[in-house]
Amino acid sequence: MAEIPFPLPDLGEGLIEATVLEWLVAEGDQVERNQPLVEVETAKSALELPSPQAGRVLKVYGAPGEVIPVGDPLIVFEVPDDAAGIVGTVPADGAPTRRVRLSANLDDD
């Protein structure tokens, strides 16, 4: 088994931190890629962070109300060795993409 840490990702818009509202997974849970992990609130809005990968949750950081700076540890996954690749890298199926593409141009589909 290998451990893969996942820091609080860059949330864009110059945001430097987020407050944990509620964890949607617990230590020991098996999660799927894109499954919502945690609800956080930034200076601009509240959002859910999807899981970047499948795996078992080894550790979560931050109780509700705690502030986590971007780049600090958020969650650690445990995955089988053959699925891990180099520890700390994103597995082969790629980074999560935004779930809905937004476009004002109705003809560019």
Partner 1 sequence: MAMTTGRHTGAAAHHTVEGTDPGLNVVTAVPESPAALPPVLLIHGFASSVELNWDKSGWIQALLEAGRRVIAVDLPGHGASSAPEDVDSYTPSRIRADLLQIASDAGARPIADGHPDSGLDVVGYSLGSRLAWEFGATQPSLVRRLVLGGPSSRDPLAEFDLVAAQRFLADGTPIEDPSTATLVSMAQASPGSDMYALLSLVEGVKEEPYDPGEAVPRQPVLMVAGERDERVATIERLRELVPHAEVLILPGRTHVNAVTARAFKHAAIEFLAQS
Q: Does 36 bind partner 1 (CB under 8 A)?
A: yes
The secondary structure of residue 42, as a DSSP letter, is -
To partner 1, the closest distance from the beta carbon of 24 in angstroms equals: 7
**Residue 47 is encoded by which pair of tokens?**
């959002």
- Binding range to partner 1, per CB under 8 A, among 1-9, 20-28, 55-63, 79-87: 20-28
Task: Give the Å distances, CA to CA, from 81 to 2, 15, 20, 90.
Answer: 5, 34, 30, 14
Among 2, 21, 58, 76, binds partner 1 (CB under 8 A): 21
Q: Does 101 bind partner 1 (CB under 8 A)?
A: yes
Residues in 44-73 at the binding interface with partner 1, rule: CB under 8 A: 44-48
